[in-house]
Structure 1
Amino acid sequence: MHEIKKTEFGKTIRTLTLGARKSLCIHPDVRKLSSDTAMSDKCLDMIQSTKSKTPGCPYNKRNTQVYFRNHALAQVQDIEELHDLGEQMSSCSYYGTRSAIPLAQVIAMPYSMLLSKSTRESMGINIKGSIVIFDEAHNIADAVNNTYSVTVSGQHLIKTRRQVWSYFQRYEKRLQGRNVYYIKQLLAVLQNCHKFLTSKSALNAIFTITDFLFEAKVDNINLFKIQQYLERSKLAQKLLGFVASEDGSEGVVTHVSPLRTIGAFFMALTTATANGRILVTQQEKEEGGKEHCLKFMLLNPALHFSDIIAEAKSVILAGGTMQPVSQVLHSLLLGVDSQRVDMFSCGHIIPPTNLTSVALAVGPTNTELDFTFSKRNRTEVMDEVGRIVLNLVRVVPGGLVVFFPSYSYENQVVQHWQSTGVLAAIEAKKVAFREPKCTAEVDSVLTSFAAQCQASGAILFSVVGGKMSEGINFSDDLARCVVMVGLPYPNPHDPELTQQMEYMTQSVSGLSAHDFYTNLCMKAVNQSIGRSIRHRNDFASIVLLDRRYNTIAIRSRLPRWINDRTVSYPTFGPTIPHLVQFFKHHRANETNAGGRTS
C-alpha cells in the first residue's frame, strides 16, 4: 500500500487492506486474548448474544461503520492505519473493512482469505473478472495445501460425538425422519473413526482415502451427503446453542463448533483418492501428553487453485526469488494449457556492483566443505566453518547473518565453537546473537541485533526455514554479508514429504522426485539469502559454503540475479581480498554521497 501512495494513482484509487481480528479489532477485552480463535469466539459471542448478561460490542454499530467505510476508502491506508482509524472513530475496523469490500478497486489481503473458497464466499470477496496478484508466490502451493488440509484428534471426535448424541437424545422425537437418518449416520462415522484411530495398526500409518474409508468401516456411508446435510441443516450452529444452554455458562461461549472441523474433514474425504492422503499422527495435548490424530493431507494444490484461475480475469504470480520456477508451475498450474501461461523475468533493480556472491568448496586450511548428513558433524568441517566466519567478521562491516540448515546443527556448531574458543574470537569482533526458538522473543532479539549492527557490528546465527529466514528484511547494515552453511535438504523420511515426492513422480507433471526434493531445498536457500537486498541502494555479499554450490544442478536453481554475480575460487585465499575490495568500493561511494546509503 505504501508503494501505491508514491504513484499518481494514490489520490484517486479506492484501496482496502483486509486482515484478521488480531490486526483490526479495537475492543480491549478481545485484543488482550492470545489466539485468533479465542478472539473470534469472544467477538462472535458479543455480537450474536441476545442475553443481557453478555453485552454486545459497542464498536459494531451500523451507522458508525458507514462513516468508517467512507474514510477507509478515501485514501490509501495500510492495516495499522485502518486499525488506528477505527480507534479514532470508535468503530470496528474488522467489520468496517469487510463492509467496504464491494466498493474497493484494489484489495490487499492475507493468502488464507483468498485461497479458501469458503472464506471468500463468507466475506463477500468476488474475484470474477478481477486481476489477482500473488506476491511471494513461491509460498502459494504450501499455503493452498495448509488451507485445505484438516486435522482431527481423538478428543475432537469424542467431544463432537458426545455433543451430537446429547442433542439427538433431547430432540429425537421432534426430528423428521431424514434428520434422524443423517444424525445416526454421523454418529456412526464419528464412532468408527475413533475406533480406527485408537487401533494399534493405525499409529504412524499412511492411507489413501479409499483405504482409510475401508479400514475405518465407513466406506458404505455417503460422506458427501452427510456434509450437505450439515450445511443445509446448520447443525453446527444449532449444536453451539444447545451446548451453551446445557452448560449454562456465563463465560465465553465458543462459536467455533467442533462439528465444523469434522465437516471439513468429511469434505476432504470426498477428494479424489489420488489427490490426498490420510496420515495417523500424534500431537501434544493442551493438558500435557500426546494423542492420536487423523490428518487429511492435500497433495495436489492445483485442484483448488484452479478455482481462482477459472474465476479471475488474470492471475499474476510474482516474486523476487521464485527459483526454481518449475516447482511453482508443476504445483499450481498442473493441467493448465501452456498457451495460457506467460513468463517474464528481469534483473534486479540494484546495480550489478551492489551484490557479490562467492561459492566455496574448501576453507582456509583446504578442508573440503562437505555438509552432507554423513560428513557435516566431523570436527574438521565445523572447525573450517569457524575459520571462515572468523575471517569474515574481520572484514564485513555492520551485520553478518549465518544461516544453518537446522536448529540442531546450529546448536551443535555453536557449542563446538564455544569449546574450542572460536566463538570467543568471533565475539571479540562482533557481538553474537542466536535465533530464538520462541516466537515471542524474536522481536527483542532482532531489535538488539539491529542496534548493535549500527554500533560496532553484530553477527546473527539463524536457521533456514526458521523465524528469521523469511518475512524479516535484513536490509542495509543488518546484513552486509549472508553466509549459507550447507544445503538445507528436508528430512527424506518425513512421511508427508515422501507422499508428496511419490505424488509428483506418479503425476503427469514430468517433475521427478529428485528434482522436487532439490527444488524444496533451493527454495529455502533462495528465500534466506534473498533477505539481504531490500531496495535499490542496498548492497550486500553472499557466501555459499558447500562444494555442491559449484555444480550446475544447484547453481542453476539460484535466482538469475544472484547466479550471474556468483564467483567460485579453487581455494579460499582470494575470497577475503575480493570482499575487502567490494566493501572498500561501497565505503568510498558512501563517503562521496555524504553519508550512509539507505
Structure 2
Amino acid sequence: MSTTSEYMRFFPYADPYDNQREAMDRIYNGLSRGQDVVFEGACGTGKTLSSLVPALEYAREEDKTVVITTNVHQQMRQFVREARAVNDQEPLRAVVFRGKGSMCHVDVDYQECQVLRDNTYEVVDSERDVRELEQRQAELLERAQEGDDEAAEARSAVMDELEAVEEELEDLQDANVCEHYYNNLTGDNEEFYQWLYDDVRTPDDVYDYAEQRQLCGYELLKDGMEGVDLVVCNYHHLLDPTIREQFFRWLGRDPEDVVTIFDEAHNVEGVAREHATRTLTENTVDSALDELQESDDHRSDAGFNVLAAFQRALRTTYEDSFSFGEREQVGENWEDVSIANEDRRDDLTLNFLQEYTGPGFDSELDDALALGRDLDEEYEEAYRNGDATTRKECQTLQAARFVKSFVDEGGELGQYPVVSVRRDEGTDEVYGRAELYTCIPREVTEELFSEVYATVLMSATLRPFDVLGDVLGLEDPITLAYGLQFPEENRRTFSVGTPALFASERSDPETQAVIADALRDAVEFTAGNTLVFFPSYSEAERYRDRVESDIDATLYFDEAGISADDLRQSFTADDDAVLFTSLWGTLAEGVSFDGDDARTVVVVGVPYPHLDDRSKAVQDAYDRAFADRSAHDSGWEYAVEIPTIRKTRQALGRVIRSPEEFGVRVLLDERYTAASVSEMGKYSVRETFPPEEREEMVDVAPEKLKFAMLNFYTDRDAWTGDPPTP
C-alpha cells in the first residue's frame, strides 16, 4: 500500500486544506479495495485534487488509466489547470479529449467522417502495396537479367498483381478521402506526440497545431490515448454506452483497468437520463416513407405499411390533443402533449394499434429493420466510392428502430412515452415528435459503475447518499462528506421568514411587497456585489421590475440573447452591483465568484422546477421503484425535493471559495426556517439540508435582515466608506 508521502508526489501545492489530506487517504484506500467513492465537499475546498491525486497514484502503481469527466465547461478548464500543475511536479501523460464535431477540420458529420477515414486508410494501404510490389518486381528484374528464369516468371506474376493494385488505387483515389487524415497516415507524427506530452494540451491547442500542419488533430489524439495516465473528457464519453465502448478501445484499456472520476456528480442523473432517451420526429418518418417508395426491394411494402400506420397515429394523437385555438398557439420550441393513461397504454400506442392493418407489425418492423440495414450499407458504399458527395443516413433504419422500441418497451417501468409538437420556422407547419423518455437513470449508470475498476463521484451537493446510490445504482460505496473548512466567522447563512413563495401565492401583492423589501435590504446592506437566484426567469424579471428604481446598485439581468459569460464578466468587474437570474440557469453552479466578485448570494423561494408530465412520470417511476426506501413520498423526495435543494446548495456555494473570503448567504422563504419544521410540516424544506448546514442557518425576520447584514459586514470591516443607515 502506498504511503502518504508517495501519493503526495502528485499534489502540486505546498499544503493541502484541512480534511483534504484525510480525503485523499480515504479515497486511496477505497481504490485499493476496488470500492466506489461518493465524495461531497463544500465548494472551494479542493475536491478535484482530493480525488485526482490518490487516483493517479493508485493508477500509476497498478497500471491503470484515470478518466476525469464533467459536463461544466469551467470545470473542464479547471481540470486542465490542475493537471498542468501536477505535471509540473510529477510528469504524467495526459490527454484532454473533446467530441469529433468540434475538432473536425473539414466540417463533416460523424458518419461522413467514418467513411472518409476508412477510404483514406484504404488509399494509404494500397499505396503501400504498390510501393512494395514495385520494389519486389525491381529485385526480380535484376535477378532475371542475371539469368534467373524463376525470377523472370515470378516477376511476371508480380507485375500482374501490381497492375491490379494500381487500378484499384486509381478507383480509390477517385472516391472521397480526407487530406488531413491522409497526412496523419503518411507522415511522421513523433513531433506531434512529443509536443502533446510536453504539457497538458487543450483540444483547442491540438486543433490549432493540426490545422497549421494540415493534420487531423482528433485522430492524432485518439491514436495517442493508449496507455496514458490521465484523460479529461465530457460526460457523454462515459454515459453514452456506444461511445464508451469505443472510448475504452482508444484507451487500449479494458473497463476494469479504468478509474473514473465524475465531477459535479449531482448532474449525472439528468445527463444519464438524456443519453437513454430516444426520439423520432414526424419529418424522419416522412423521409423514411419516401425512401421506401423509391426502393424496389420486396420488403419495402411491409416497411411502408407499418411506418405509415405509425405516422398516421402520431398525427392523430397530437391533433386530438388540441382544444379550440391551441394549434394556432404552437411555437417554434418543442411542447409536450399529454398522452399517458393510468389504466392502459399511452394514446400513441393505442392509436398505432388502431391504425395498423396487416399480417403483424412485429414481422413488418423486422422487414423494415433488415431493409434499413441493407440500405444503410449501400449509402456508405456509395459515399466510400465517391458516387455520392455526402454520406446519406438511412431514415428507414432510424424510424423502424424507434417504432420497435416504442411498442416493445413503452409499457415498462421507467419508460415514459411522450409526444411533442412544434412549428417549423420555415414552412409555418406544425409537426410532431415521439419520444421514449427514460425516467430511471440507473439503467445507464449501473452498467458503467459495475464494469470499470472503481468510480469516484464528487460534488458539493450529493447528500443524502442513500438516495444517490438508489438512483444511480451504486453498490455499498465509501461515503465522505466535508462541509466548509473555512473560518465560520467569515460567513453567515440567514433563513428569512418571508411568506412562502408557493405558486399560488406568487401573484399576491402583499407577498411580493415583503419579498421586494427584503431584496432591497439585502442589496443595500451588502458590502459589494449581490447574486440573486429565483425559481424562474419570469420571477427574476418580476422582482427586477419591482426594485430597480429603488436601489443604487448597478442592476444586471440574465436573459435570452445575452452571453452568460459576458454578463458574469461585466457583473464581477463592478463593485456595487446586483445580478438577477434563475436558479435553473447556467450561473447557479460550476461558475466561481471569487474574492469580491460577489459578497452576498440570495435564493428567493424554494425553486422547484416546472412540474410537467415528465417530472410526474419520474416521480411515479421512483415511487414504484423505491417505495420501500423512504418513510415519505419517495417519488416527490427523490425526483423533486432533493434535486431542488441540491441546486439551492449549489447556488449558495457561489460565494466564499477560499479561507480568506467572507460573505452572506440568504434564503428568502419561511419554508427554510426552523419554525417551519413544526408549523408547515411536509412543506418545510429545512430538514432536507445536511445537519451541519442546518446548524449554521440563522432565522431572521424580514425587517431584521438589514441589521443582521450590517453587523456582519461591519465586523468584517468591509465597507469602503460609511456603511448604510438602516
SS in 2 for 1:144: helix
Q: 1:161, CA displacement in angstroms?
A: 2.6
Q: Taking structure 1 as reference, are residues 200 and 318 closer, same or farther at Cα in structure 2, changes over 3 Å only?
A: closer
Q: Which moved more, 1:253-262 or 1:372-381?
A: 253-262
Between the aligned partners of 2:657 and 2:179, the Cα distance in structure 1 is: 41
What TM-score do the two structures reach when normalised by structure 2?
0.67
Q: 1:315, CA displacement in angstroms?
A: 1.9
Given residue 376 of structure 1, which amino acid in structure 2 is its aligned partner?
Answer: R
Alignment correspondent of 1:153 = 281
Q: Taking structure 1 as reference, are residues 325 and 230 closer, same or farther at Cα in structure 2, changes over 3 Å only?
A: farther
SS in 2 for 1:477: coil
Counterparts of residues 336-415 of structure 1 (less than 5 Å): 337=475, 340-362=476-498, 369-415=499-545
Alignment correspondent of 1:177 = none
Structure 1 residue 17 corresponds to structure 2 residue 96: yes
Q: Which moved more, 1:54-63 or 1:400-409?
A: 54-63
Alignment correspondent of 1:495 = 613
Given residue 90 of structure 2, which amino acid in structure 1 is its aligned partner?
Answer: K
Alignment correspondent of 1:316 = 456
Q: Taking structure 1 as reference, are residues 103 and 530 closer, same or farther at Cα in structure 2, changes over 3 Å only?
A: same
Q: Which moved more, 1:495-504 or 1:390-399?
A: 390-399
Alignment correspondent of 1:134 = 262
SS in 2 for 1:77: coil
Q: Taking structure 1 as reference, are residues 467 and 97 closer, same or farther at Cα in structure 2, changes over 3 Å only?
A: same
Q: Is the 8 A contact 1:277 1:296 kept in 2?
A: yes
Q: Taking structure 1 as reference, are residues 226 and 94 closer, same or farther at Cα in structure 2, changes over 3 Å only?
A: farther
Please give the per-residue CA displacement for 1:352-406, whole angstroms capped at 9, x wherever unaligned. 23332100003xxxxxx22111112222222222222222222313321111111
Structure 1 residue 467 corresponds to structure 2 residue 586: yes
Q: 1:296, CA displacement in angstroms?
A: 0.8
Structure 1 residue 424 corresponds to structure 2 residue 549: yes
Between the aligned partners of 1:230 and 1:74, the Cα distance in structure 2 is: 50
Q: Taking structure 1 as reference, are residues 380 and 210 closer, same or farther at Cα in structure 2, changes over 3 Å only?
A: closer
Structure 1 residue 221 corresponds to structure 2 residue 362: yes
Alignment correspondent of 2:623 = 505
Q: Which moved more, 1:96-105 or 1:560-569?
A: 560-569
Structure 1 residue 190 corresponds to structure 2 residue 301: no
Please give the per-residue CA displacement for 1:434-470, whole angstroms capped at 9, x wherever unaligned. 00223x63233222222223xxx21110011123223
Counterparts of residues 570-589 of structure 1 (less than 5 Å): 571-587=701-717
Please give the per-residue CA displacement for 1:268-310, whole angstroms capped at 9, x wherever unaligned. 4454712312111113434244311101101221112121122
Q: Taking structure 1 as reference, are residues 189 and 114 closer, same or farther at Cα in structure 2, changes over 3 Å only?
A: farther
Between the aligned partners of 1:545 and 1:461, the Cα distance in structure 2 is: 14
Q: 1:324, CA displacement in angstroms?
A: 4.3
SS in 2 for 1:474: coil
Q: 1:151, CA displacement in angstroms?
A: 1.6
Please give the per-residue CA displacement for 1:111-157, whole angstroms capped at 9, x wherever unaligned. 11110111122343553332211111111111111011122111111
Q: Is the 8 A contact 2:420 2:432 kept in 1?
A: yes
Given residue 15 of structure 1, which amino acid in structure 2 is its aligned partner?
Answer: A
Between the aligned partners of 1:301 and 1:192, the Cα distance in structure 2 is: 31
Q: Taking structure 1 as reference, are residues 72 and 267 closer, same or farther at Cα in structure 2, changes over 3 Å only?
A: farther
Between the aligned partners of 1:263 and 1:2, the Cα distance in structure 2 is: 46
Please give the per-residue CA displacement for 1:557-583, whole angstroms capped at 9, x wherever unaligned. 2355643422112x2354333323433
Between the aligned partners of 2:646 and 2:227, the Cα distance in structure 1 is: 37
SS in 2 for 1:58: helix
CA-based RMSD = 3.5
Q: Is the 8 A contact 2:602 2:668 kept in 1?
A: yes
Q: Is the 8 A contact 2:285 2:307 kept in 1?
A: yes
Given residue 540 of structure 2, which amino acid in structure 1 is its aligned partner?
Answer: E
SS in 1 for 2:526: coil
Given residue 362 of structure 2, which amino acid in structure 1 is its aligned partner?
Answer: I
Q: Which moved more, 1:147-156 or 1:74-83?
A: 74-83
Q: Is the 8 A contact 2:368 2:396 kept in 1?
A: no
Stretches of structure 2 lacking an aligned partner (at least 5 in a row)? 1-79, 120-171, 322-336, 678-683, 721-726
Counterparts of residues 541-560 of structure 1 (less than 5 Å): 541-550=664-673, 551-552=676-677, 553-559=684-690
Please give the per-residue CA displacement for 1:75-128, whole angstroms capped at 9, x wherever unaligned. 333444444444465533322222222222221211111101111223435533
Given residue 527 of structure 2, which amino acid in structure 1 is its aligned partner?
Answer: P
Given residue 554 of structure 2, which amino acid in structure 1 is its aligned partner?
Answer: V
Q: Is the 8 A contact 1:65 1:91 kept in 2?
A: no
SS in 2 for 1:343: strand
Between the aligned partners of 2:518 and 2:378, the Cα distance in structure 1 is: 64
SS in 1 for 2:507: coil
Q: Taking structure 1 as reference, are residues 299 and 394 closer, same or farther at Cα in structure 2, changes over 3 Å only?
A: closer
Q: 1:120 aligns with which of 244, 262, 275?
A: 244
Structure 1 residue 563 corresponds to structure 2 residue 694: yes
Counterparts of residues 437-456 of structure 1 (less than 5 Å): 437-438=560-561, 441-453=563-575
Which protein is bigger by CA-based radius of gyration? 2
Given residue 563 of structure 1, which amino acid in structure 2 is its aligned partner?
Answer: R
Q: Percent identity?
A: 18
SS in 2 for 1:318: strand
Given residue 530 of structure 1, which amino acid in structure 2 is its aligned partner?
Answer: G
Q: Is the 8 A contact 2:96 2:200 kept in 1?
A: no
Q: Is the 8 A contact 2:414 2:618 kept in 1?
A: no
What TM-score do the two structures reach when normalised by structure 1?
0.80
Q: Is the 8 A contact 1:151 1:294 kept in 2?
A: yes
Given residue 460 of structure 2, which amino acid in structure 1 is its aligned partner?
Answer: G
Between the aligned partners of 1:10 and 1:165, the Cα distance in structure 2 is: 65
Given residue 101 of structure 1, which amino acid in structure 2 is its aligned partner?
Answer: M
Structure 1 residue 514 corresponds to structure 2 residue 636: yes
Between the aligned partners of 2:658 and 2:391, the Cα distance in structure 1 is: 45
Between the aligned partners of 2:189 and 2:496, the Cα distance in structure 1 is: 59
Q: 1:64, CA displacement in angstroms?
A: 5.5
Between the aligned partners of 2:195 and 2:556, the Cα distance in structure 1 is: 44
Q: 1:17, CA displacement in angstroms?
A: 1.4
